[in-house]
Structures are given as structure tokens and as C-alpha cells.
Amino acid sequence: MYKLLLSWRYLKSRYIALASIVSVTLGVATLIVVNSVMAGFSDEMHKRLHGILSDIVIRSHDLNGLPDPEWHVNEIKQIAGDDIEAMTAAIQIPAMINFRDNIQGQWITQPITLIGIDQQTYGEVSDFSKYLLHPENRRQLNFLLKENDYGRGKRDRFPVSGWARRRVSAEWEQQAVESQTNDLTTNVLEFDANDIPPSPFPLVDDSGVEGRGETVDGLVEGEVPGVPFQALDEPQLVFDPSTEQHTGIILGISICSLRGRDTNGEVMDYYFALPGDDVKITVPNSGQPPKAVSDSFTIVDFYESEMSEYDSSFAFVPLSKIQDLRGMVDVQSGTKSVSTIQLKLKAGADLNVVKQKLQARFPVQQFGYQIQTWRDMQGPLLAAVQLETTILNILLFLIIAVAGFGILATFFMIVVEKTRDVGILKSLGAPSGGVMSIFLGYGLSLGTVGSGVGLVLGLLFVEHINTIAGWIEKVTGQEVFDPTIYYFNQIPVIVNPVTCVWVVVGAIAIAVIASILPARKAAKLHPVEALRYE
């Protein structure tokens, strides 16, 4: 009984103990905050990586792909059909994109990774559609331009896009062309169109004027295309950008946007092109050696996975479009080839087991396929995050250990100060074990109070971390969490109860361990000498 009473009274009456409590509190709170943020980051990263990459990817080493995807799909179904939830075939090839920057009017060229996808099944193997800006595409993907409403529920200040934008810019372009031709006609007043002799070389060019080749079919018979000024006084029968679109393309949002700060320091996105604009894509064809082939596409949506690596390089188009453009057709069988087959496994299926089955079925010597799980593909990144978490934890635990030595020192002081009390207790018949447990109990209550308060503080901090980051930004003027770097608008946090329990238990253990030595010292004091102590 006296042990409890005295532990409690010593705790209440010693302000120096408060310092130890504060150090334990800070240590525990820091550990919990850091762990939660790290867990949040790593979880966010896992989710994103996994969301973008399907569970298992079979990739052909050759850019021209694996022939006869249907046979492959059937084979895969036979060996691992029970574990597979969904499957899709895709083509992934390097490409160049070329588009006009609508701020400066410059032409921009960038390397990208062009991915041909099956719009029905691609969304089933990964969270691809979740990252699209248009709400309809998020429900069911198609490659048709939408009226407007891009970014609703995702990026709320997204500029007007889609058909709304396309019509306006088509009109503007037409006006620009008209004013140019007006200039031209007023300058050459005497010029009569009928005086021009018919061109000796009728211009029937597949590539058309600036990507309008597809619409050549629409020409009315008898007209001579390509003759200057011919079309001016007639309705535009060629491609009408205000009502028609090219094949749709979904661009990674960073391909044609930049995130920066405006003059007020607010985070702003600058878009060079928007859904509704046209771009040109150049890809190597499947010839020997490959030659570049180009085509026009209309941006129908943006893809924002918030992983800058992907957002700045991925562009998605319909699978058949790439197959046609590149000529990926097997002459003999007439089947079109693909370059990757992606699998999504059922919940609970073992990734590595399925991977090994597939590797056994498609040995690398024979097929030359690379079969990887999503973890393999992002292995180094995931390992780096894991390592970082581990090292941070070790460092922070050292901080608590420092607090432990603080407790040790404090306790030695308190034991020295309490020497006479120990003598009194012993003279009243308190056994050495009892005296020891007063100080152990003291350490225990110190650790418990400290880590309890630390736990509460840490959890509160985690709960309000974004508000706190906001305050710190205001006070210091320094960005704590820069959304232009991380692509998260908020600091992601995950509180893992098991981690919290471990941290608290660890802190209490350190406090108790630190009090063992002083407690033993107190227990060993000779009562007579302790009583004489001044």
C-alpha cells in the first residue's frame, strides 16, 4: 500500500519528474506522428503504384509484342484461372507527342509512353479509371470527347474543356483564317479566282492538310481538293473541328500542365493543352527498321494518378488504333498482337505463386517474356520507403532512449534526495524489495503518464496535422508540405494501433528499466547510514 502512496506522492511533489515526463511525452508523440505520416505516405504510394499497375504483368521483350493474344489468354486461364479476376491486353510503346501550347502558341514536343488499352477491360485490372478527370469516364471509360465538366469532384478549378472549348477554339480559328483571307483578297483586288488555271497536280494527299487526312473521304465528287481558295465560298465539308473529333487520347496530366505558384504564392496549374485540343502522336511502326508514323488525336481526358513519374509520361489510346497505326498484324493468321497482358488476381491469391506458375508455362528461353508482379516493378522504390521508415524509427527510438537516460539521472538524484526517507521506511520495517518497488513504481507511473500524454498529443497532432502544417506555414512563411512536389494536397496519415501500442509499451519499458538501477541503489541503502544522511 505504502508503495503506491509514496510513488504517487513523489510524482506529485517533484517538479524534476515533470521534465522526465515531458521528455517521454515528446518522444512518444514524435514517434507516433512520424510513424503515422510515414505509414500514410507509404500506404498512399502502395495504393497508387498498385492502382496503376495491375497485379501481374506479362510483357513481351519485343516492341512488336506477343502474337496471338487470345491463345495466351486461354493458356493463362488454364494454368491460373482460379486465381484470376480480370485480364486485359495492352500495348506499351515509346512515342512522341506534339501539340500547340495554348498559352504561348508554341509547338511542344515531348517523349511519352503510349499505351494502347482495351476500354472495356483495362479498368478492371487496375484503378485506371479512378484517376480520370471526367466523372463519366470514371464510371465507364470511352474515348469520346465530353461536353464539359472535366475535373468535377477532383480538380474544381479546372478550366472549361471538352466540346465547349473545342467549339470556341474552332470558331476562333475559323475567324482567324477568314480575316487572313480577307486581308489577302483586299490586297489583290484585281485578282480573279477564275483566272487561275487548273492545277496540273491535283493534291490528293493522304496526310491531308494538318492532320485532316481522314476526312478526305467526305469530299463531294467533282470538286478539286487542294485548289487554293476553292473551299472559301462553300461550306466546309472537310473535317469540322467544332463537331468532330479525332481518335481520343487520354494524357497524363503533367504532359501538358505544370504546377507552380502565381505571384501571390498560391499553387496554380498551367495547362498547355486541355481536353478538346488536338495533338499529334508519332510512333515507330512495326517495320524493319521501324519508321516513324504519325496521326492526330483529340485529347478526351486527363489522367492524374498523382505519381509524377506516370502523370508526366503516360498517354492512353484505344488498343486497335495503335495496332492499326503500327501495323501490328500477323500476316498469316490475321491476328493483331499486343505487348503486355495484365492480370488482376482475386483477393487472397498469392502473387508470387501465380507468377511462378506463369514463369513455368512461359519459360524465358522460349518466349522471352518478362513476368513481374507490381511489387517487382516498383521494388526499389518500395524498399527505399521501407528502409526510410525503419531508420527513422531507430533514430526516434534513440531519442526515447535519451529520455531514458534523463530518467536515470533524475532518479539517481531523487534517490539521493530521498535517502533519509528510505532509512525511515526501513526502520519502520519496509523490506528492501518494497523500497525498490517504490522507485520502480515511480518509474512505471512516470513512463505511463508520459507516454499516455504523448499518445494523446501524438494522436491529436496526427488528427490535425494539416491544420498545424498550415499554421507553421503562416508563422514561418516556409512551406511545410509543398503540393507542387508531392502531388498530395494533404499530408496522408494512417494511425496503426499496433504501432501505437508498441511505442507506448516501449517507452514505459525504458522508463522502468531506467529506474531499476536507482531503485536497486535505494534498496541496498543501509538503514542506519540512510537515517544519518543529512
Partner 1 sequence: MSSAFELAYPESQPAMASSRGSLHPRLLKAPVVLHASGVTKSYRKGKVEVPVLNGVDIEVVEGEFQAIVGASGSGKSTLLHLLATLDQPDTGEIYFEENRIDNLPASSRDILRNRYIGMIFQFYHLLPELTALENVLMPVMIHHGIISYTLQRRKFRQRAKELLDLVGLSHRLKHRPREMSGGEMQRVAIARSLMANPRLLLADEPTGNLDRAAGEEIMEIIHELNSAYDVTIVMVTHDMSIAAQADRTVRLAEGKVESVSFQS
Quote the crossing angle between the two packed helices 432-463 and 419-427, to the nearest 10°.
130
* Binding site residues, partner 1, CB under 8 A: 1-2, 4-6, 9-10, 12-13, 420-421, 423-432, 434, 526-528, 531
Positive/negative CA dihedral, 414, 419, 424, 427: positive
Convert 207-226 into a string of H (helix), E (strand) and C (coil): CCCCCCHHHHHHCCCCCCCC
Cα distances (angstroms) measured from residue 507 to each of 49, 174, 398:
35, 73, 11
Distance of CA 228 to the CA centre of its chain: 51
Amino acid letter at 331? V
Q: What totals of helices (H) and strands (E) does the chain contain, helices first? A: 18, 11
Amino acid letter at 31? L
Distance CA 94, CA 91 (A): 10
Distance CA 126, CA 385 (A): 22
Give the DSSP H/E element, type plus range, for residue 145. none
Shortest CA distance to 336 belongs to which of 66, 30, 42?
A: 66
Query: For partner 1, which is the closer residue by CB, 343 or 438?
Result: 438
Q: Where are the alpha helices (DSSP H) in 284-378?
A: 308-311, 319-326, 351-361, 364-367, 374-377
Q: Do 372 and 355 form a contact (C-beta atoms < 8 A)? A: yes
- Residues 134, 136, 139, CA angle at the centre, nearest 5°? 115
Shortest CA distance to 316 belongs to which of 256, 246, 251?
A: 251
Query: For partner 1, which is the closer residue by CB, 210 or 417?
Result: 417
- Helix, strand and coil percent figures for the chain, each rounded to 5: 50, 15, 30
Q: Do 315 and 300 form a contact (C-beta atoms < 8 A)? A: no
Distance CA 59, CA 314 (A): 17
